[in-house]
Structure 1
């Protein structure tokens, strides 16, 4: 007995489909990046202003309002007259200095109303200048190395 097979027509199966939802929520955020120091260099008698510039790097979400404040530092001063403390033979001595948010050295940069810098984020890293000034001293401090550490705070 012979078997004869009948070929049926081949049908492609319809694919099953579904939707995949993809989401993200972007929140306002700021990050602090590297800073470059306000380095006044080496000087003898402080008979005239000594100016120097440093930078703060900040990255904030596009459109996010934020503020940058600077504290009084560790040298024992205030936000209007900061102090660099001496080390080694200069221990116990200080050098006064000021930090400003403008190149004309008129806008003190501190951490109270009127001294805080306000900005709006661009979504990219921004480099913000910090303008420093050591004013003339009635009595030049002891020769040696002086430094201070100022905390940068970013609020958003």
Structure 2
């Protein structure tokens, strides 16, 4: 039986080939991997912010009217989720003002008391006077803006004995959280 010169050359080439060359044509070994985990943390602090309420403008007051004059203003309070907060309103700067009977004062000097009594309330039924107390929670933050309405009312029959002119007051609002 006669062998083919081709087979002989192939056998000779394989025998002469170093082992490293054969490994070069072998499939590459896969790289090893290792994994681990780590924590990412942050502490969210209690925080609140509020918008400044607009002017509570009652409009024109008629002391002869049988109906109290009402008005509203509102603000937005945004507190971190679950944060308890309260809002207090002071008596204002009006002459003789108290928490239960606030007073707008006329800038015009003259005879009489130059003040117009009014109240600020937490609800539209005017049952709860909005005082300056910031104790207790009152509200709880949701992480989103929460609208809070301030209801105002001027009682009937106030013939102020002061001039028929504009009356104003300035209230300080305190947000406690």
TM-score by length of structure 1 reads 0.79
Task: Return 76-85 or 132-141, whichever deviates more.
Answer: 132-141
More strand by share: 1
Q: Distance in 2 between matches of 1:132 and 1:140?
A: 22
99-108 vs 6-15, greater mean Cα deviation: 6-15
Asked whether the equivalents of residues 73 and 149 of structure 2 are also in contact (C-alpha less than 8 Å), the reply is yes
Give, in angstroms, the shift of residue 23 of structure 1. 1.4
Structure 2 residue runs of 5 or longer lacking an equivalent are: 1-16
Question: How far 1:107 moved relative to its partner?
Answer: 1.0
1:25 CA displacement: 1.9
CA distance, structure 1, for counterparts of residue 48 and residue 134 of structure 2: 21
Q: Does 1:65 align with 2:74?
A: no
Corresponding residue of 1:32 = 50
Number of corresponding residues? 151
Larger Rg: 2
Q: Which has the higher contact order (CA 8 A, sep 6+)?
A: 1
Match of 1:79 among 99, 119, 123: 99
Structure number with the higher helix fraction is 2
TM normalised by structure 2 equals 0.71
Distance 2:46 2:93 in 1: 31
Deviations 1:43-70, CA, capped at 9 Å, x for gaps:
3x32231111111211122222221110
How well do the aligned residues superpose, as a CA RMSD in angstroms? Answer: 2.8
Aligned to 2:13: none
